[in-house]
Structure 1
Amino acid sequence: MYQIIAYIKFLLKSTNEHGVHSPFVYNFITKCLYDKKRYNNYDDLKAYRSQLLNSKESLEITDFGAGSKRMSNSKRRVSKMVKISSSSFKDTQLLFRISQYFKFKNTLELGTSLGVGTQALALGHSKNKITTVEGCQNTFQFSEKNLKELHLSNTICINSDFRSAISQLHQESFDCIYFDGHHNKEATLAYFNLLISKAHNNSVFIFDDIYWSRDMTQAWETILKDSRVIVSIDCFNLGFIFFRKEQPKQHFRIRL
């Protein structure tokens, strides 16, 4: 019910590219978010999703975050996980376009899950070195194997809780950090504050499921108020923040 009400409010307040006066944001919306071109790599995204949907495997899951609202059992079928817990096909297409548009060189993903988001970010730009972290050992082993079989040589999989993995990162900065796990306010804010030192002027932080719960929305709203956050874009399923010091602080709600 919270998500339904939140979505209605979002629709009433959101807009499209019209009225956006920032050239950076306007170009991002029109050339990336609203890009209707059909890329050949979309077939690869669809093929992997179909493979997961047809999988007969089940995984014993250890939840380190808020868990699943619709799957309470620890043993879960992969086919059901991809329907309920993974990024939608539309969102993976968007992640592909974002990686391609900004030509990321290094990305950190918190929450590999079944690797559909990882695949999209990797295919978007072949020079994008992706470090993806998954806490559940069984999910990690399953996804690492699949990503290798997809010949995504630009991905590095780490089996660790997020806080430990963050403390051991050697990279000085990341072009993109994708927060896709541990969906609660306290953890999201903690990881944001731990990782903001890894942002440079042109970095983008992507937050998944910002309306997953009232708690997650509060985390998102707290992040928006941070003085280090300059530009923010709310697309309901995903939230984007930028640190571009040359721009005025602005917030946008954009319908996809």
Structure 2
Amino acid sequence: MLQIIKSYLKFLYNSKNQHGVHSPFVFDLVTKCFYDKKQYPEYAVLKKYRKSLLANKNFIEVTDYGAGSKIFKSNKRQISKIAKTAGISPKRAKLLFRIVNYFQPKSILEIGTSLGLATSALSLGNKKAKIITLEGCPNTIYLCQLELQKFNINNVECVQTKFEDYLKNFKPETLNSKHQIFNLVYFDGNHSKQATLDYFELLLPTITNETVWIFDDIHWSTDMEEAWKIIKNHSTVTVTIDTFQWGIVFFRTEQKKEHFIIRV
């Protein structure tokens, strides 16, 4: 906890709003997307989706292949508490919706489904997008499928798998023209340094100039901060944005290499 507080204070000291941004691409993203105050009708769906999970007092056994939980001490967890404490926050769900709505990616990969709070935001951002979401735990992904059906969210394919087993299909030696190219990837499945870097490397063969990657919890631990630093400095990466909760990565070759710390 102390590490996160220190990181947040450092973030506040270094962060800027749109007035400190001199890149036209990032300035437009900040002003037209991050700071968009429009009340989208999809926000009401996101709220109802969350309310449905918060009302579910049943318990499930969670299979956790990631870095573990700082909140739950047992793998037997109440659904409402998972939604309240472990899922994406209402504010971040709206921002994720806006990012997808802004870029309109045709294909999306989510690494770490959980109960589908972020999945629903991804879907509602572009209802025509093809979305694949990966989850290792069979019980949580089953619940997510039920919730998505309840809200008529039909453009999501839920895949129960270990992330590395799915992502190894994107190694250069196995990649072919039939494989899915993802315009946006949301990394929220394993908050450890090595796993994050492994997923980054495994998906690099799929990038295009328009690719957007979002890494969750980049300040979750010193290990995650180290992973974020390595990603920022990678030769293929041009623009990066640190919003504290997320690290957003672009591979736009026309942009000079630049890092932004933005309050959202």
User: In which range does the TM-score fall when normalised by the shorter chain?
Assistant: over 0.9
Q: CA RMSD in A?
A: 1.0
Cross-structure match for 1:96 = 97
- The residue matched to 1:174 in structure 2 has which SS? coil
Residue pair 1:59, 1:77 contacting (<8 A) in 2 also: yes
Cross-structure match for 1:110 = 111
The answer to whether the aligner puts 1:218 opposite 2:219 as a matched pair is no
Cα offset for 1:10? Answer: 0.2
The answer to whether the aligner puts 1:209 opposite 2:217 as a matched pair is yes
- The residue matched to 1:68 in structure 2 has which SS? coil
- The residue matched to 2:209 in structure 1 has which SS? strand
Residue pair 1:114, 1:143 contacting (<8 A) in 2 also: yes
Cross-structure match for 1:28 = 29
Cross-structure match for 1:60 = 61
Q: For residues 30-179 of structure 1, what are the structure 2 equivalents within 5 Å?
A: 30-168=31-169, 171-179=179-187
Q: Normalised by the size of structure 2, how large is the TM-score?
A: 0.95
Cα offset for 1:82? Answer: 1.0
Cα offset for 1:53? Answer: 0.8
User: Could you list the runs of 5+ residues in structure 1 that have no partner in the other structure?
Assistant: none
Question: Distance between the aligned counterparts of 1:172 and 1:77, measured in 2?
Answer: 35
Cα offset for 1:168? Answer: 4.0
Residue pair 1:104, 1:127 contacting (<8 A) in 2 also: no
Cα offset for 1:167? Answer: 2.9
Aligned identity (percent) is 48
Cα offset for 1:30? Answer: 0.3
Cross-structure match for 1:250 = 258
Question: Distance between the aligned counterparts of 2:20 and 2:190, measured in 1?
Answer: 35
Cα offset for 1:165? Answer: 1.3
Q: Normalised by the size of structure 1, how large is the TM-score?
A: 0.98
- The residue matched to 1:171 in structure 2 has which SS? coil
Out of 221, 237, 242, the residue aligned to residue 229 of structure 1 is 237
Instruction: Show CA shifts across 1:136-191 (max 9, x none).
Output: 11111111121122211110000000011113465342110100011000000000
Q: Report the AA paired with residue 97 of structure 1.
A: R
- The residue matched to 2:211 in structure 1 has which SS? strand
The answer to whether the aligner puts 1:195 opposite 2:196 as a matched pair is no
Q: Report the AA paired with residue 243 of structure 1.
A: F
- The residue matched to 1:239 in structure 2 has which SS? strand
Question: Distance between the aligned counterparts of 1:139 and 1:151, measured in 2?
Answer: 18
Cross-structure match for 2:18 = 17
Residue pair 1:173, 1:197 contacting (<8 A) in 2 also: no
Higher mean Cα deviation, 61-70 or 160-169? 160-169
Moved over 4 A (4+): none
